[in-house]
């Protein structure tokens, strides 16, 4: 389960975030490409844009549910 205390500083403020458990598997970037991107230097994903449409919200939720190491958090905001 993602821990907000361990989230990457690259994440934009808002509901979704990625923490330091990320293994750079690319699932979230493929599932929600409008919201997740890669930090090339660190080799991890992060949220660069919070969902702004119902479709993006659904994609972010799907990415969170599919994350193999549960590195995507949802603070419920």
4-46 confidence digits (pLDDT tens): 999 999 999 999 999 999 999 999 999 999 999 999 999 999 9
Arithmetic mean of pLDDT, 43-60: 98
pLDDT at position 3 is 96
The domain limits of the chain are: 4-74
Nearest to 28 by CA among 8, 76, 77: 8
Name the nearest CA neighbour of 35 among 24, 21, 48.
Answer: 48
Mean pLDDT of 69-76: 94
pTM over 0.85: yes
Domain 4-74 has CATH 1.10.760.10: no
pLDDT of residue 77: 67
């Amino acid at each position: 389960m993602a821990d907000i205390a361990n989230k990457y500083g690259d994440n934009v403020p808002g509901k979704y975030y990625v923490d330091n458990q990320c293994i750079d598997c690319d699932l979230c970037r493929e599932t929600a490409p409008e919201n997740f991107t890669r930090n090339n230097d660190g080799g991890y994903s992060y949220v660069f844009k919070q969902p702004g449409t119902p479709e993006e919200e659904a994609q972010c939720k799907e990415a969170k549910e599919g994350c193999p190491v549960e590195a995507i958090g949802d603070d419920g905001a």
